[in-house]
Amino acid sequence: MEIKELKSKDEIIKAFPVMKQLRTHLDEETYLDLVFEAREKDHYRLFALYDQGDIVAVTGFKPMITLYYGRFVWVCDLVTDSVKRSMGYGEELLNFVHDWARTNGYSSVALSSGLMRLNAHRFYTDKMNYDKVSFVFKHNLD
45 pLDDT band (50/70/90 cuts)? Answer: very high
Determine phi and psi for 121, rounding to 5 degrees: -60, -45
Average pLDDT value for residue range 9-17: 98
Q: How far is CA 107 from the centre of its chain?
A: 18
CATH assignment, 2-111: 3.40.630.30
Domain range summary for the chain, segments of one domain joined by +: 2-111
pLDDT class for 86, splitting at 50, 70, 90?
confident
For 51, the 3-state DSSP assignment is: strand
Q: How many CB atoms lie within 10 A of CB 27?
A: 10
Given a cut of 90, is residue 28 above it in pLDDT?
yes
pLDDT tops 90 at residue 30? yes
Question: With left for phi above 0 and alpha for psi between -120 and 50, is residue 53 left, alpha or beta?
Answer: left
Tell me, what's the pLDDT at 31?
A: 98
Across all residues in the chain, what is the average pLDDT? 96
Q: Any bridge partners for residue 74, and if so which? A: 62, 110
